[in-house]
Amino acid sequence: MIKKTFYELIMGKIEGKWCNGIALIEIIDDSISICHIRSLYMFGEGQNIDGYGFDINEKQFSKVEEMSYAKAIKEFELNNKTIVSPIVFETIGGVRGIGRDIPYGRNVFEHTEDNKILVNNGAFDSLEEVSKFGLISPKEKKEKWLVFEE
């Protein structure tokens, strides 16, 4: 997998979407956007990307491509590529039709050396088990997924 540093991406204006599993960077022309993939529970309960720093000279960003759920899962299963589920929203609660949108998704799916499926920090034996655990929703299946290129 070809990796780039944040510095290389910015100075070279290398267009596209780039990800390190926590931050997603999109570069288009002279514009850059950075958003989080998921909360950083491994670095502190509930901490989000606002407090997350990364070395600008460490090669940690990989090119990612958007694909349908079916294509992303195929790449995951056949080519062992890392994939990231989309962020989706669920409206909950509320009175008189006024609810609150709760975001979920942006789960990182990887394979372990012993062929388990690692989703964020949890290991599973199959995608069916991941789905039963609630980490793949019907809404996520309808959206575009991120697939790490190699």
64-88: per-residue pLDDT in tens?
999 999 999 999 999 999 999 998 8
Apex 40 CA angle, 109 and 150, nearest 5 = 35
How far is the C-alpha of 58 from the C-alpha of 88, rounded, in Å?
30
| Letter string b/e over residues 65-101, b meaning 16 or more CB atoms within 10 A of that residue's CB | bebebeebbebbeeeebbbbbbbbeeeeeeeeeeeee
Backbone angles phi, psi at 71, to 5 degrees: -70, -40
Indicate the average pLDDT of the chain.
85
